Structure 1
Amino acid sequence: MTKADIVSNISDKTGIEKNDVLAIVEAFMSEVKDSLESGDNVYLRGFGSFIIKKRAEKTGRNISKNTTIKIPAHNIPAFKPAKTFTEGVKTKVVVK
C-alpha cells in the first residue's frame, strides 16, 4: 500500500476531498519526523510507538581491504507495534 492508496481509502471512507486528506497525512508524517528528530518518541495508543533506538559504537570490518573500522554511535528510528495491533495482524493476515 502506498501513500496515494492510503489517501484514497481515507477519502472514500470519510467523504473528505483527497487534497485535504493528503495535507493531513503529510502533516502527520511531518510531525512524527520532527518529534523523532528532536529526540521525542511518539506514542499512539492501540497502534504503536515511533521510537528512537540508540546504537553503541562498534568495530566493523572492511573485508575487501582487510581493515577494521570504527562505526560511531548513532540513533535510528524504529516502530514498535502495540500488542493489539500485533495480535490482529497475526490472526488475520493471509499470505498470498
Structure 2
Amino acid sequence: MNKNELVAKMAEKAGLKKTEAEKALKAFTETVAEELKNGEKIQLVGFGTFEVAERPAREGRNPRTGETMKIAASKSPKFKAGKALKDSLN
C-alpha cells in the first residue's frame, strides 16, 4: 500500500474528503518526527510505540579492504508493535 492508497482508505473509513485525510496523515507524520527529534517517545495504546534508538560509536571493518574504521554514533527511529496489533495479525 502506498501513500495515496492509505489516504483513500483513511478517507473512506473516517468519512472525510481525501484532502482532509491527507492533511491528517501529514500532521500525524510531522508530529511524530518532531517529537522523536526532541527525544520524546510516542505511545499509541493498542497500536504501538515510536521511539528513538541510540547507537553508540564503534569500530567496524571495511568489507572490501578489511581495514578498521570508526563508525560514528547515530540515532534511528524505532517502532515496537503493541499487543493488540500483534494479536490482530494472528
- C-alpha change, 1:13 and 1:63, in structure 2 (3 Å) is closer
Q: CA deviation at 1:14?
A: 2.4
3-state SS of paired residue (1:66) = coil
Q: CA deviation at 1:11?
A: 1.2
* Counterpart residue number, 1:64: 64
Structure 1 runs of 4+ with >4 Å offset: none
* Counterpart residue number, 1:81: 81
3-state SS of paired residue (2:84) = helix
* Counterpart residue number, 1:13: 13
For 1:84, the aligned partner's letter is A
TM-score, structure 2 as length reference = 0.92
State which drifts further: 12-21 or 28-37: 12-21
Q: Which runs of 5+ in 2 are unaligned?
A: none
The CA distance in 1 between the partners of 2:65 and 2:22, in whole Å, is 48
* Counterpart residue number, 1:26: 26
CA RMSD of aligned residues (A): 1.1
Q: Which runs of 5+ in 1 are unaligned?
A: 92-96
